Structure 1
Amino acid sequence: MKVMIETDRPVALVTGGGGDLGRAIALRLARTCAAVAIVDIDERSADATARLVEAAGCKSVAIRADVSSPHETAAFVDAVEGTLGPIGIFANNAGIEGVVAPLHEYPDEIFDRLLAVNVKGVFLGLKHVLAKMTPRGRGAIVNTASTSAIRGRAGLAGYVASKHAVLGLTRTAALEVVGTRIRVNAVLPGPIESRMIRNLDDQAGRNASGLRRSGSARYGKPENIADVVAFLASDDASHVNGAAWVVDAGMTVP
């Protein structure tokens, strides 16, 4: 059923919206958006986020999709525009972490899956959303990268390679939209309280020791990242394009 949104407030799309960070982003965007569409490969998690967004007073739909699939990505972008209206904000957030292992022992199939989700998924999201935004000449896209996009991390070959690629895609897309009112930026979270970082910590067996040796005394919260995403997606950041916003409490300061 078509439920077009009649308002000046934008429609937002959040991929990976069933995870800890995606859920925080969706709830933050719900404060300023007319509707927030949630995409995740985990249908139950997507539905749970959509219910929270609606409980916050914002229209929402949940869509189960694999962002690494060209067909499914094209379909969910069309579905969002067909039900809610033109996508004005795209949080290109879906991603996976892989395993912790030395590069010479890193499983080929896990490396391939990381590139499929974290790189091809981001590429496909950009491709299909920009195809909608470009004729309108307006919109904001925020790709979720990581501080692993600007540094190496032992044992995380697949994740690090994929996040470096996300930053490259962000910069390429940003150059291609120069002269329009479309902006493409990236947010680079440090470790945040989430299932993903807990899994990596458990695999590495070091818990928060890496943080204690850094400029950060604690993990960040998903809401810390969501606030920056909301800013980059807002008109307050109208002159920000192609930027890599590090959000890590100083962890990567030289």
Structure 2
Amino acid sequence: MTTSAKIAVVTGAGSGIGRASSLKLAEEGAKIVAVDFNKETGEETVRLIQEQGGEAFFVQANVALSDDVQNYVNKTVEKYGRIDIFFNNAGIIQKFGPLTEVQEDEYDRIMNVNVKGVFLGLKYVLQVMEKQGGGLVINTASTAGIRSEHSVSVYSASKHAVVGLTKSAALEYVKKGIRVNAICPGGVQTALTDSVTEMFKTSGFVPEEVPNMRMGRYAQPDELAEAVAFLASDKSGYMTGSVLVVDGGLTL
């Protein structure tokens, strides 16, 4: 298989798209370095991979901290000597509300994880990939990164930034054997999206507009994992700087 024996680092591997993608890549033969802030869920992902006959180990990290990012990169290189696939996936959503009511600490929280975390991952993983002469990077953006979503201004800005980082990195490294693409999920049935309904209940705030799930349902994490596996394979060999929208028609 095209990902067989490759080394894949996945951030946000403890749940949702990160877990599903880790399992999918492992199923196709990749060795997984599962990175997550949550030790319990990250180790659970490793256990699930091992139960299906795959190889994986866990590294705990706050992706917004340079030392933590360098640590998961260094541990991967120490064990395997290379990084072939990097799914730069970890992210968080903001509390819904008007832009003028967003507190500075909320702004910093979103930007630190969603933008700085992606930037730091690129910064240190690309160095490894350049030295080894190639690699594949997939960043997780969002439909909110290609259009506005109501009442999540900072989240939307952060995901627009991920799209920008993706395109810039792709351009800079295209002649160095490194491809950099992004996925833009719409609504996906994860703990993150499950928390949105609870946010509405507890805050009493509901946006004037809510996403129109045109297929009548959220995507399942496994459906996004298929897109990640495609971008991580030779089947996407002529794609770099691409933003792959997987949203069930949400942005139509």
* TM bracket, shorter-chain basis: over 0.9
Residue in structure 1 matched with residue 224 of structure 2 by the alignment? 225
2:148 matches 1:152: yes
Alignment of 1:100-111 (within 5 A): 100-111=96-107
Shift of 1:84: 2.8
1:215/1:252 contact within 8 Å kept: no
2:215 matches 1:216: yes
Alignment of 1:1-254 (within 5 A): 9-204=5-200, 210-211=210-211, 213-253=212-252
**Matched pairs, number:** 245
Q: Distance in 2 between matches of 1:210 and 1:220?
A: 16
2:134/2:177 contact within 8 Å kept: yes
Task: Return the letter of the residue paired with 1:248.
Answer: D
Q: SS of the residue aligned with 1:141? A: strand
Q: Distance in 2 between matches of 1:37 and 1:169?
A: 23
Shift of 1:8: 6.3
TM-score (normalizing by structure 2): 0.93
Shift of 1:157: 1.4
5+ long unaligned stretches in structure 2: none
Q: SS of the residue aligned with 2:175? A: coil
Shift of 1:101: 1.1
Q: SS of the residue aligned with 2:113? A: helix
Q: SS of the residue aligned with 1:219? A: coil
Q: Distance in 2 between matches of 1:34 and 1:215?
A: 34
Task: Return the letter of the residue paired with 1:244.
Answer: V
Shift of 1:201: 2.8
Q: Residue by residue, what CA displacement relative to the aligned partner does 1:99-134 show, whole Å, maximum 9, x if unpaired?
A: 111111112101101100000000000010000001
Task: Return the letter of the residue paired with 1:185.
Answer: N
Q: SS of the residue aligned with 1:63? A: strand
1:102/1:155 contact within 8 Å kept: yes
Query: Cα distance 1:8–1:192, how it changes in 2: closer, same or farther (>3 A)?
Result: closer
Q: Percent identity?
A: 40
Q: Distance in 1 between matches of 2:149 and 2:248?
A: 18
Query: Cα distance 1:105–1:89, how it changes in 2: closer, same or farther (>3 A)?
Result: same
5+ long unaligned stretches in structure 1: 1-6
1:93/1:143 contact within 8 Å kept: yes
Q: SS of the residue aligned with 1:178? A: helix
1:11/1:34 contact within 8 Å kept: yes
TM-score (normalizing by structure 1): 0.92
Q: Distance in 1 between matches of 2:4 and 2:93?
A: 37
Task: Return the letter of the residue paired with 1:104.
Answer: T
Shift of 1:52: 0.6
Q: Distance in 2 between matches of 1:147 and 1:230?
A: 19
Query: Cα distance 1:34–1:220, how it changes in 2: closer, same or farther (>3 A)?
Result: closer
Q: Distance in 1 between matches of 2:103 and 2:87?
A: 29
Q: Distance in 2 between matches of 1:202 and 1:180?
A: 45
